[in-house]
């Protein structure tokens, strides 16, 4: 796990970076921290500094908003973090439309349940998600399936930049929903 440093109220703290993708960063605190939701901190990662706002604390996991003006060239994803979700989706392939229920999200992909068992591992599909009068459309590749629960895990194979921004907003919304 990559180590990062935070500066908050003139105190430094070392954290473990879980994920930095787009406007979302998740880190784990190794020791108790005095930060509160809403605090702005300076984060030092790979010789670069970012001003971040703490948006959620769940146990030792800290979630930060990194303004889009500070984006890095490439995402730094150490371990994908799943965020629970409940929304309907539609999988689309060449000649098939399949209903799915999205049960978790991460910056790298989604988890969903489908009653259709013919979905193939390593197969690409387009998915349409609808939420709060918005819709998202991107391509996924199915990576695994749990035969007991019917849950599929899929990575985002391709997503347009505007859709990525909406996807990150969806993750923020899911993070902030208790």
Q: What is the CATH number of the domain that holds 157?
A: 2.40.10.220
For residue 176, what pLDDT is reported?
Answer: 67
Q: Say if residue 68 is in the same domain as residue 89.
A: no
Domain boundary, last residue among 50, 77, 104:
77
pTM of the model: 0.62
Asked whether residue 75 carries a pLDDT value surpassing 60, the answer given is: no
Please name the residues in contact with 21: beta carbons below 8 A apart, sequence gap of 6 or more: 75, 76, 77, 107, 108, 168
Which single residue is written with the structure tokens 């969806």? 170
Domain-terminating residue out of 77, 95, 126: 77
Residue 116: count other Cβ atoms within 10 Å of its Cβ.
12
Q: How many domains does the chain have?
A: 2
Residues 136 and 167 in one domain: yes
Is the domain of 72 the same as that of 87?
Answer: no
- Within this chain, do residues 73 and 90 fall inside the same structural domain, yes or no? no
- Quick one: pLDDT band at residue 69, thresholds 50, 70, 90? low
Cβ neighbours around 147 below 10 Å, total: 7
Do 45 and 94 lie in one domain? The reply is no
| pLDDT confidence of residue 71 | 53
* Mean pLDDT on 63-72: 71
Residues 63 and 126 reside in one and the same domain: no
Picking from 25, 22, 30, the residue whose alpha carbon sits closest to that of residue 44 is: 25
The confidence band for 79, taking pLDDT boundaries of 50, 70 and 90, is: very low
Note whether 88 and 170 are same-domain residues.
yes
Cβ neighbours of residue 145 closer than 8 Å, sequence gap 6 or more: 119, 121, 151, 152, 153
Query: Is residue 78 scored above 50 in pLDDT?
Result: no
Alpha-helical runs (H) found in 95-140: none
Query: Do 64 and 110 lie in a common domain?
Result: no
Structural domain of 130 = 83-176
């Amino acid at each position: 796990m990559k180590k990062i440093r935070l500066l908050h109220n003139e105190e430094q703290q070392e954290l473990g970076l879980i994920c930095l993708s787009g406007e979302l960063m998740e880190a784990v605190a190794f020791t108790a921290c005095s930060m509160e939701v809403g605090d702005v901190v300076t984060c030092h990662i790979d010789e670069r500094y970012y001003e971040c706002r703490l948006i959620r604390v769940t146990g030792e996991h800290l979630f930060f908003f990194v303004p889009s003006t500070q984006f890095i060239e490439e995402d730094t994803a150490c371990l994908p973090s799943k965020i629970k979700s409940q929304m309907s989706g539609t999988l689309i392939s060449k000649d098939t439309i399949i209903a799915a229920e999205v049960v978790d999200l991460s910056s790298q992909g989604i988890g969903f349940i489908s009653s259709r068992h013919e979905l193939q591992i390593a197969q690409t599909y387009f998915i349409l998600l609808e939420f709060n009068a918005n819709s998202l459309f991107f391509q996924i590749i199915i990576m695994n399936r749990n035969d007991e629960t019917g849950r599929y895990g899929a990575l985002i194979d391709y997503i347009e930049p505007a859709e990525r921004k909406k996807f990150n907003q969806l993750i923020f919304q899911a993070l902030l929903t208790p």
